[in-house]
Structures are given as C-alpha cells and as structure tokens.
Amino acid sequence: MNVAQKSQDQITPDFSTFDSIFRPKAVAIIGASNKEGSFGRLFLEGIIKAGYSPIYPIHLREKELMGLKAYASIKDVPVPIDLALLMVPYSEALKIVRECVEKEVRGVVLFTSGFGEKGEEGKQAERELAKIVAGSRTRLIGPNCNGLYSPAVKLVSLPGSLITGGVTTEAGTLSVVSQSGSLNDFLVQTLTRKNIRFNKTVSTGNECDLHAEDFLEYYGSDPNTTLIAGYLEGIKDGKRFYQLAKEISKKKPIIIWKGGMTEAGARSAVAHTGALAGSSVIWETMFKQAGIINPNSFEEMVDCILAFSWTGIPKGRRIAILSSMGGTNIGTTDNCIRAGLEMAKLTDQTKERLNQLLPGAGTSASNPLDVGVGGMMNPKVFAEGMKIITEDENVDMLMLVADPDAPLSIPSIIEAIPSIKKPVTVSIFDMLDLTESHYRKFLEHRIPVFHEPKRAVAALAKMCEYADYLKQYK
C-alpha cells in the first residue's frame, strides 16, 4: 500500500506498515561495527543498551558483533525483519535498500546523508530510491535522518540520546515528527529530562518516500498519541497536510515549529534537507486555519509542549497573576496584553477574601496580585491566594510567579495546584543553584514551569488560540 497516494476519503487507513516500524518484531542494523569510536559501534552498543531485542547486525566480514551473531547480508537473516537501520556509505545505499526490498523489510531507515541536500546528483539518487521501494512491501524513511524512538518497545536510534543516555523506555502520549534529525534528538533529550514522556518520534530527513504528512496521519489515528509535535522545513503535499491537520487538530493539539519562514532561512533549509520552504504568509494562514499551534523557537516549542501536556485548555482569555514581585508583575501585565490575553477583573468578594489573607501594607488586592513580603514570611500565602483567585468566576487561568526567596512556599504551592480546576502555570527565575531544585520539583509534579513569566504568557496565549479554534466546531 502506498500511503502517500492514499485518498483523503479513506476512513480506516491500513497503518500496519507504521505499526511494524514503531513496534518491530525484529530489527537489522546494517553498517553496525566493532570498531572503537565508529558511528556503527556507537549505534549498535547504544541500541543494545536501550533494551530492544531481537537485533540482527549485518557486517560483510565479522561473524559476531557485541555478542550478537552477525550476518553478511540482510538476505541471510533467517527470520522476517520489520525494521532495518542503515548506517551505510552513500555509494552503497541503493544496493542495500534493494536487498531490504527483496527481504520484504517493512521499514527502512536510511541515515546516510549527501543526497538531495547536496545537489542534483543526490536528488536523482533519491528518485532512484523512491522507485526501488515503489509498489513493494517496503517503505523508506530518510535519507539524511536519524531514525526513531519508540519507548514502548525500548527502541532508540537517536545518536545523541544514545550517547548521553538521558532517555527512558517509559512511554507517554506525545508523538513527534521532525524533518531534522538533530532536532528530534534534542527534543527527546530535553523533554525527557523535563518529565515529558513520548509515545513515538521519528525524523524524516529528505523524505524521498515516507513524508511528514504520513506520520501526521498515523499519529492522528493512533489511540496512544494525545499530543503531536513537529519540526518542518517544507511539505511535499501541502493540501493533504492541511486537510489532515485540520481534522486531527479537532481532537489532538498539533504543535509545529516551522523552519525557513524567512528568505534566508528558506535558503538554508534547501542545504539542510533539500526542502522548499515556501512563503511565510501561506504557512501562517495555513497554521491558523488548520488549528496548528506555531511556536517560533525551540524553547517556545518545549514550553508549549509542557503547557499542553499538563494543564487543561483555558475557557477564555482572562488571566490572573499572583506573585511577590511588584516590578515583574507590571511588565508581565504588559506582556499578557501584548500576547492578546486580558487581565481578569476580580469580584469584590475575591478582593475581600484576599484582603483578609494579606497583610495590609506592601500588597494590593487587585490583579496582578502582589503578596509582597507577606508571601515571604508566611509559606501558605501563595497557596491560599491561588485558591481564592481561581475560585473567582472572572478568572480563566492563573499565572503564579514563585518567589525564589520563599522556598518554604514551594511545597504548599505544589500541593495546592492539583485541586485547582483552572489552568495554572508557574514561573521561577533561573537563579542557578537557588532555583534549580524548585524548578525540578514543579516538573516532577507535572506542573508547567517556565524560567520567566513572559514564556508562560506565550504558552498560555497559544492555548487560548487553540481554544478559539476548537470553539468553531462546538
């Protein structure tokens, strides 16, 4: 079945190829090596260590690699292979992909670079690759990619994640498709450390066969995926992508960082994955109409993923701010307004309750709320203030700015948040040793936390945009 040619009207697509790719019964590694310091060894070692089994290393001469029996060719392997990872020289790539097709491997990941991103010769080779797999039982990911991550089966082929060992085989519900391999890798490493768990991730590179759209469709129908994130440079079938995203985003948020939105960025995208990046206006319009959340940097993408993973969508744009820092409250109010949020007008009843909670001087029972020194001296003030404010019918969401000087307030804030029914984000300034452990504590408790209020504002504003998109379909 050629997924790329599938009709949009098909109601129940056959996703067995993708199931074989992400939950393979057997994996071959072609280009595996024993040689110290080689990429083939690093990979083989890392993949074994991550825990996937059974692995079949392929090596022309060696009979055994890292304790596993090696085969001279994939065609010699005595069992069916669902997934083959190819770390082979450019000159060998076509021949070996052909062998994979003959072996009826379901998915081939071609890590090798130097194809379309280098010029016309490489583009021609990509067209050859597409022809080799066309009509066969084999689908190709890449070239110029770095593979996938499927924690449920302990499969990790991301080089950075293998080297630094910062990945887990605990599965979550976030799935990622990235045209950049390194970005896929860094997203896994960053978010894993921030306590986000993945369901599946893949980097698609130059996309000579399987495209980002194909994975978007698969994730859309995947019951284990509740949130989709992606990094794109260009899309081969824009219309299909748009139609898919428009439908999927009604059920699952889609967060996409698009590289190559300026002319200079688009030129470098060609050198990176050979993608034609297209006009930024078209992309922005498309994102808006398809309900796609569109951060414009790595950090903003990470921030959006934290917010969408761990809080509900706000019902409206009315935000309340609670902190012990008058100055940043004013600037944060500015940033809320600039981002299209509204400052919630607290009811008289809420103000009265807050005035009872707070010592009179140095605080102002309004929004933004500055609990002043009172918050530093009494660890319960933040937690109580949060409860009072979020019970106000005029408040849709709350941004708490935690006080690094009031460490005793952190446990009571963490304890209070789960019982609050409205979205709450926390900000805490990056003061290295003073705040690192607090920052981690919030992440451990799955509370969206940011190193400054402005970043929380940006993520909340994206949630509001998404809420508006959903309202059209209610």
Q: How many residues bind a second copy (CB under 8 A)?
A: 93
Min dist. Cβ of residue 63 to a second copy (A): 27
Within 215-234, the residues that bind a second copy by CB under 8 A are 231, 233
Within 425-464, the residues that bind a second copy by CB under 8 A are 429-434, 436, 440, 451-455
The single residue among 28, 55, 183, 304 that binds a second copy, judged by CB under 8 A, is 183
Task: For residue 40, state whether it binds a second copy (rule: CB under 8 A).
Answer: no
Sign of the Cα pseudo-torsion (65, 71, 73, 74, in order): negative
The two beta strands, 55-58 and 27-30, are parallel
Q: Report phi then psi at 83, rounded to 5.
A: -135, 130
Helices (H) and strands (E) in the chain, counts: 18, 19
Would you say 41 or 252 has its CB closer to a second copy?
A: 41
The single residue among 238, 316, 379, 404 that binds a second copy, judged by CB under 8 A, is 404
Within 134-173, the residues that bind a second copy by CB under 8 A are 144, 159-160, 163-164, 166
Measured distance CA(175)–CA(216) in Å, rounded: 9
Min dist. Cβ of residue 47 to a second copy (A): 16
The single residue among 334, 352, 393, 415 that binds a second copy, judged by CB under 8 A, is 334
Task: For residue 380, state whether it binds a second copy (rule: CB under 8 A).
Answer: no
The single residue among 17, 20, 33, 113 that binds a second copy, judged by CB under 8 A, is 113
Cβ-contact 199, 175 below 8 angstroms: yes
Helices 238-248 and 212-221, packing angle to 10 deg:
20
Would you say 53 or 279 has its CB closer to a second copy?
A: 279
Of 160, 250, 168, 254, nearest to 215 by C-alpha is 254
Distances (CA, A) of 133 to 125, 126, 143, 215: 13, 11, 13, 18
**Considering only 24-32, 46-54, 308-316, 398-406, which stretch makes contact with a second copy by CB under 8 A?**
398-406
Min dist. Cβ of residue 262 to a second copy (A): 4
Would you say 9 or 348 has its CB closer to a second copy?
A: 348
3-class DSSP state of 444: helix
CA neighbours closer than 13 Å in the CB half-sphere of residue 110: 33
Distances (CA, A) of 329 to 105, 368, 375, 388, 439: 58, 6, 15, 18, 20
Min dist. Cβ of residue 205 to a second copy (A): 10
Task: For residue 338, state whether it binds a second copy (rule: CB under 8 A).
Answer: yes
Identify residue 458 by its one-letter amino acid code. A
Q: Mind giving me the DSSP string for 268-304?
A: HHHHHH------HHHHHHHHHHTT-B--SSHHHHHHH
**Considering only 55-63, 74-82, 210-218, 252-260, which stretch makes contact with a second copy by CB under 8 A?**
252-260
Task: For residue 15, state whether it binds a second copy (rule: CB under 8 A).
Answer: no
Measured distance CA(376)–CA(374) in Å, rounded: 5
**Considering only 48-56, 61-69, 206-214, 333-341, which stretch makes contact with a second copy by CB under 8 A?**
333-341
Within 347-376, the residues that bind a second copy by CB under 8 A are 360-362, 364, 366-368, 370, 372-373, 376
Measured distance CA(201)–CA(370) in Å, rounded: 42
Min dist. Cβ of residue 130 to a second copy (A): 20
Q: Mind giving me the DSSP string for 390-419?
A: HTSTT-SEEEEE--TT-TTHHHHHHHHGGG
Within 270-299, the residues that bind a second copy by CB under 8 A are 271-273, 277, 296-299
**Considering only 19-27, 175-183, 386-394, 466-474, which stretch makes contact with a second copy by CB under 8 A?**
175-183
Please work out, in degrees rounded to the nearest 5, the angle formed at the alpha carbon of residue 93 by the alpha carbons of 91 and 95.
Answer: 95
Task: For residue 35, state whether it binds a second copy (rule: CB under 8 A).
Answer: no
Would you say 60 or 361 has its CB closer to a second copy?
A: 361
Would you say 190 or 243 has its CB closer to a second copy?
A: 190
The single residue among 180, 201, 249, 409 that binds a second copy, judged by CB under 8 A, is 180
The single residue among 32, 50, 235, 269 that binds a second copy, judged by CB under 8 A, is 269
Distances (CA, A) of 368 to 153, 333, 343: 47, 7, 8
Identify residue 70 by its one-letter amino acid code. A
Task: For residue 238, state whether it binds a second copy (rule: CB under 8 A).
Answer: no
Cβ-contact 286, 242 below 8 angstroms: yes
For 338, the token pair is: 């600039």
Would you say 184 or 390 has its CB closer to a second copy?
A: 184
Within 300-329, the residues that bind a second copy by CB under 8 A are 300, 324-329
Min dist. Cβ of residue 120 to a second copy (A): 15
